[in-house]
Amino acid sequence: MTKKALKKQLKKQLKKAAKQAAKNKKAIKLLKKQLSDFEAKSMSYLERLFMSNVDYPIDDFGAIAYVDASYSDTGRFGSIGIVMLTRSEVIQYSEIPENLEDCALTSTNHELLAAAKAIQMAKERHIKNLIIKHDNNSIAEVAKSHSVTKTSMEEWYKQLVMKHREKMSITFKKVKGHSKEYFNELADTLANKALKAERVKRANTPLFFSLGDKFQEALAKERFAVKCYIC
C-alpha cells in the first residue's frame, strides 16, 4: 500500500471513529436526560403521594406514624416496623424487641409495641399531634380508657397511651392491610426484613438462642459470680 493510500485509509478510519464518538456522546447525553427525567418523575410521584395524604402534617408539631409488626410463632420472636412522616422528613425504623416476658411473646403484643415505639419517637421530636395508622384493631381498642385489658402487656400499653395523651394528641386510624397504601406497605416491609434478618442470625447461632433468654441471663450471672470470686 502506498503512503497516499494509507493516509486516505487512516483519514477514513478517523472520520468513522469521530462519527461513532459523536454518536456515543449523543447516546450518553440522552441516557443522562432519561435518568434525570426518571428521577424527577419518581420524586414528583413520592411528593404527590406524601402531599396527597389527607393527614399530611400542617406544621412542625404534627406527625403521622404507620406501624406494623411481624412475628414468628416457631421462633417466638417478633419485629416492628415504623414509618413516621413529619413536616420535614420521612423516618424509617425497625427493631427486634428484646427482654420480653413469655406472656408478651405474641403477634398482637408486637403490634402494640410498634405503636408504643411510635409514640416514644414522636415525644423525642416534640410532636404535639400524632396520628397512628395501623392495620391491627387491638392498637386502637386496647388504648381506650374504658377498655378491659387481658394481659400485663395490654395494661402497660393502655397506661402508656393515657399518660402521653396528657401532653400529646394521639389519634388512631385503621388502614386496610396490604391495600397497597405506600407507607403502610413500607412499614410492613421494614418489619418483615427485620424478622428475616433475625431469623438468619439465630440460625447461624442455634445454641445461644435454643438455650432461652432466661437461662442465658442466669448463666451470665453465674459467670459473673465466678469471675468476682476468682478476683
Mean pLDDT, range 190-206, rounded to an integer = 88
Determine the residue type at 230. Answer: I
Whether 39 is covered by a domain: the verdict is no
Whether 5 is covered by a domain: the verdict is no
- Band the pLDDT of 13: cuts 50, 70, 90: confident
- Band the pLDDT of 223: cuts 50, 70, 90: very low
Least confident of 47-51, 53-57, 141-145: 47-51
Whether 230 is covered by a domain: the verdict is no
Does the predicted TM-score (pTM) go above 0.95?
no
Q: Where are the alpha helices (DSSP H) in 91-181?
A: 107-124, 137-141, 152-164
Mean pLDDT, range 94-115, rounded to an integer = 89
User: Is residue 15 over pLDDT 60?
Assistant: yes
Domain span including residue 187 = 62-216
CA 59 from chain centre, in angstroms, equals 23
Structural domain count of the chain: 1
Whether 21 is covered by a domain: the verdict is no
User: Is residue 59 over pLDDT 60?
Assistant: yes
Of 91, 55, 56, 48, whose CA–CA distance to 186 is shortest?
91
Per-residue pLDDT tens over the stretch 120-175: 999 999 999 999 999 999 999 999 988 888 888 899 999 999 999 999 999 999 99
Determine the residue type at 229. Answer: Y
Maximum Cα–Cα distance across the chain: 103
H/E element, 64 = strand 62-72
Whether 169 is covered by a domain: the verdict is yes
Whether 30 is covered by a domain: the verdict is no
Termini Cα distance of the chain:
93
pLDDT of residue 48: 57
Whether 49 is covered by a domain: the verdict is no
Q: What is the DSSP letter of 179?
A: S
- The residue assigned the cell 416476658 is 101
pLDDT of residue 42: 53
Helices and strands of the chain, counted as H and E runs: 7, 5
pLDDT of residue 229: 33
pLDDT of residue 51: 56
More confident: 45 or 204:
204
Q: What CA–CA distance (Å, rounded) separates 98 from 109?
A: 13
Whether 8 is covered by a domain: the verdict is no
- Band the pLDDT of 24: cuts 50, 70, 90: confident
User: Is residue 72 over pLDDT 60?
Assistant: yes
User: Is residue 220 over pLDDT 90?
Assistant: no
* Strands 169-174 and 62-72, sheet pairing: unpaired
User: Is residue 224 over pLDDT 70?
Assistant: no
Assess contact for 48 and 54: CB atoms under 8 A.
no
Q: What CA–CA distance (Å, rounded) separates 142 from 112?
A: 9
pLDDT of residue 117: 96
Whichever domain contains 88, its CATH number is 3.30.420.10
**Dihedrals phi, psi of 217, to nearest 5 degrees:** -65, -45
H/E element, 133 = strand 129-134
User: Is residue 11 over pLDDT 90?
Assistant: no
User: Is residue 183 over pLDDT 70?
Assistant: yes
**Dihedrals phi, psi of 73, to nearest 5 degrees:** -70, -35
Residue 189's contacts (CB-CB under 8 Å, 6 or more residues apart) are 81
User: Is residue 98 over pLDDT 70?
Assistant: yes
Mean pLDDT, range 47-69, rounded to an integer = 76
